[in-house]
Structures are given as C-alpha cells and as structure tokens.
Structure 1
Amino acid sequence: MLAIQNLHAYYGKSHVLHGVHFNVGQGEIVALLGRNGSGRSTTAKAIMGLVDCEGDIAWKGQPIRGKKPFEVAHLGLGYVPENREIFPKLTVHQNLMLGEKSGAKNSRWSFDDMYAMFPRLKERQHTEAGVMSGGEQQMLTLCRTLMGDPDLIIIDEPTEGLAPKIVELVGEYLQRLKARGISVLLIEQKLTIALNISDRALVMGHGSIVFDDTPAALKANPYVRKEWLEV
C-alpha cells in the first residue's frame, strides 16, 4: 500500500533523511524504531506532506510526494503526531467530530465504536479536552484520527509518558485496527510493545533504514540492538 524509495529530507541546510526506503502492506503493523534524532518523525512528516523532501512516496500505486497534508489525509492516510495536538477548548465529542471524513457514507468507525473502545472518553465526552490527563488525550487523538476512516495510520510515539496499563491498552487498540484491515506504521521507542504487536521491524540510524526484518530476527540480533537502539 505504502512504498517509500530513496527519500531525502532537509531542515534548512541539515540533511536529515538519506535515501530512506521501505514498504507497508495492507493490514500490516510495521514498527519504525531508532534513537531520538534518527529521522523517524521526519519520515512520518515527509509522508504526510509536512516537510519538503525528495524521492518517491507512493500510496496504492499513486505518487503522493508534494501533495498538501489535507490531500494526503483524504486519500486514506491518518497521522497521530507525537505532541497529540488536540483542541483543548473543545469537548471530547467536538474533537471527534472534527476528525470525521466529510462525505463518508460507509465509514468503518462511529462515535459508538470510539466510546466502546475507550469507555473513559464516553464518560468525558462533554469535558473540555484540555483538562484531561495525558493518557486520555492520547486516546482522544487516536480516536479522532480513526474518525477519518484511514486505510493506514501513522502513529508517532503513542506510549510516550503513559502509565503501563495505558500502554497495554494502546497495544490492544493497534491490534484491533489490524483486525479491521487497517495498516499501521508505529514509531515507538519501547521495544517490548513494538516487537510484541508488529509484523515487521524497521530500524533507523542516521537518517537511513539499517534493518528491515521480523521482530524475531531483531530480537536475535544483538549487534543491531546495541548499535542502533540501546542507550
């Protein structure tokens, strides 16, 4: 579904991505791992049209590099940024409404689905999002993105700063997405959750993909873990 070839990106004169290449198939969870500064978040932003880049980005065989972020989203790619970006003065329900894809008649997701998946959001549906805990805001951001009915969702550090129980909940949530045929590109630093739920593991180092194989292969490769992941 998503194919990246020879992707380069820059921030001013700083060359951040150096020929990144990988694919994400339908219904596949792919973990994108690496240390801070390795280029993972920049890769996500490049796919979504949020940074200038060079190279090839194809979605379902269609070139999308150079499209505006809203055009990429309308094609079926969802993005959950690391900083969550909820609308703090709007209620939970209003935030979810903003995520709805206009004109969609047969969406896989409804408000009831969101509230069934995360009962805490139902309890707080009339609460301003800005007063909720970090975990609740993360749930809301994930659900708001789903309301756009994406075929692939890019999630950047969804477990950052969350309690262990919420981390487990996020893992279950991602597996539910896969069960509904939605692909996931998961940017994550917690190896345990990433390797437990993903079908493939990518490792980035210095703006390039340095490993692309199964989670089992990564677990069995101490050199890659020590060289590119462990602090």
Structure 2
Amino acid sequence: MLEIQGLHAYYGKSHVLHGVDLHVRPGEIVSLLGRNGAGRSTLVKAAMGQVRAEGSIRFQNAPILGLKAYQVARKGLGYVPESRDIFPTLTVEQNLLLGEQRGRGASRWTLGDMYRMFPRLQERRSVAAGVLSGGEQQMLTLCRTLMGDPDLIMIDEPTEGLAPKIVALVGDYLQALRDKGISVLLVEQKLAIALDIAQRVYVMGHGTIVFEGTPDQLRANGAIRREWLEV
C-alpha cells in the first residue's frame, strides 16, 4: 500500500534521511521507533510532501513524491501531526467537519462514529477546541483526520504527554482502524503500545533503518534496543 524506497530528505542543507526503505501493507499496523532526532517525523512529513525529498514514495501503486500535501490527502493518505494543529477558535464539531473530504464517495466514518469512539468529544462538541485538555485535543486530531476517510493513516507520537487511561484509548482507536481495514504507520516512543498493537516494527537511527522485524523479534534483540531505543 505504502512503498518507500531509497528516500533521502533535507531541511535546507541538512541531510536528514539517508536512503530509507519502508513499506506498509493493507490492513497492517506498523510501528516506527527511534529516539528523538532519528528522522521518524521527517519520514512521514516527506510522505505528505512537507519536506524536500528524493527517492521513491508510492501509495496504492501510484507515485506521490513531489505532490502537495492536499493532493496526497485526496489520494487517501491521512496524517496526524505531533503538533495536533487543531483550529482553537472553532468548536469540536466544526473541527471534525473540516476533516471531511468531498468527492471521495461515501465515507466509512460519520460524526456519530467519532462520538461513539470518544464520548468525551460528544460532550464537548459545542466547546471551542482551544480550551480542550491535551488528551481531548489528541482525540479530536485523530478523529478529524479519520473524517477524511483515509485508506492509510500516519500518526506521529499520538500518546506524547497523555495520561495512561488516554493512552489505552488511543490503542483501542488504532485497533478499531485496523478492524475497518485501514492501515496505520505509527510513530511512537512508548515501546509498550508500539509493540502490543503492531504486526511489524522498524527502528530508525541517524536517518536510516537499523532494524525491521516483528515485535517479538525486537523484544528478543537486546542489542538493538540498548543502542537505538533505551536511554
């Protein structure tokens, strides 16, 4: 579904990604792990056309490298940034409705689905998004992206700064996506959730992939964890 080959990415003259290869299959959750600065966020931004990149990125067998972010989104690739990027002066429901994409046919998701998944959003639907807690804003960002009916969703650090109860809700949300046939590329630092819900795992270090395998294989590989993940 998502095929990345020989990807190089740059911020100005800074060369951040060095020939990255990665793929996500239909209906699969893949976790992308690594320390801060390893290049994980740059990879998903490159896929969304937000940084200068070279190499090959294909989504559903079509090249997308060089497209603008809105063009990539219209092809069915969703992106939840770490910064959340809500519209603070709009209500929760207005933020959700802004995520809808016209012209892609009948969506698999409705406002009612979002509210059933996260009842707290329904309770706060008429509240300005800027006054929501961090956990509520994360729920809103996840659901706003889902309202665009993506076939694959890339999620950057969704559990950062969240209470354990909300982290568990995010894990349930990702499983619900997979049950609906939506692929997930999860950028995450918390090993527990990343390994529990993923079918495959990549580890990045210094802008390259240093490990690819199953969660069990990573659990068994203490050398990789010590060198590239553990503090």
TM over 0.5: yes
Q: How does 1:6-45 map to 2 (within 5 A)?
A: 6-45=6-45
Deviation (angstroms), 1:194: 0.2
In the alignment, the residues of structure 1 paired with residue 11 and residue 106 of structure 2 have an alpha-carbon distance, to the nearest angstrom, of 40
Q: How does 1:127-166 map to 2 (within 5 A)?
A: 127-166=127-166
In the alignment, the residues of structure 2 paired with residue 225 and residue 104 of structure 1 have an alpha-carbon distance, to the nearest angstrom, of 42
Task: Name the structure 2 match of 1:117.
Answer: 117
In the alignment, the residues of structure 1 paired with residue 66 and residue 11 of structure 2 have an alpha-carbon distance, to the nearest angstrom, of 16
Letter in 1 for 2:176: R
1:174 matched to 2:181: no
Letter in 2 for 1:38: A
Deviation (angstroms), 1:103: 2.5
Structure 1 stretch displaced more, 98-107 or 138-147 = 98-107
Task: Name the structure 2 match of 1:194.
Answer: 194
1:227 matched to 2:230: no
- The answer for unaligned runs of 5 or more in structure 2 is none
Task: Name the structure 2 match of 1:56.
Answer: 56
In the alignment, the residues of structure 1 paired with residue 139 and residue 104 of structure 2 have an alpha-carbon distance, to the nearest angstrom, of 22
In the alignment, the residues of structure 1 paired with residue 59 and residue 70 of structure 2 have an alpha-carbon distance, to the nearest angstrom, of 14
- After superposition, the C-alpha distances for 1:115-166 in whole angstroms (9 at most, x for unaligned) are 0000000000000000000000000000000000000000000000000000
In the alignment, the residues of structure 1 paired with residue 114 and residue 159 of structure 2 have an alpha-carbon distance, to the nearest angstrom, of 18
Deviation (angstroms), 1:60: 1.0
Deviation (angstroms), 1:228: 0.5
- The answer for unaligned runs of 5 or more in structure 1 is none
Task: Name the structure 1 match of 2:72.
Answer: 72
Task: Name the structure 1 match of 2:216.
Answer: 216
Letter in 2 for 1:52: R
TM-score relative to the length of structure 1: 0.99
- After superposition, the C-alpha distances for 1:25-52 in whole angstroms (9 at most, x for unaligned) are 0000000000000000000000000001
SS in 2 for 1:144: helix
Letter in 2 for 1:181: G
In the alignment, the residues of structure 2 paired with residue 216 and residue 108 of structure 1 have an alpha-carbon distance, to the nearest angstrom, of 32
In the alignment, the residues of structure 2 paired with residue 107 and residue 149 of structure 1 have an alpha-carbon distance, to the nearest angstrom, of 6
Letter in 1 for 2:13: K
The structure 1 segments of at least 4 consecutive aligned residues displaced by more than 6 Å after TM superposition are none
Task: Name the structure 1 match of 2:4.
Answer: 4
- After superposition, the C-alpha distances for 1:53-107 in whole angstroms (9 at most, x for unaligned) are 0000001111110000000000000000001000000000000010001124310
Aligned residues: 231
TM-score relative to the length of structure 2: 0.99
SS in 2 for 1:175: helix
Identity %: 69
SS in 2 for 1:135: helix
Task: Name the structure 2 match of 1:83.
Answer: 83
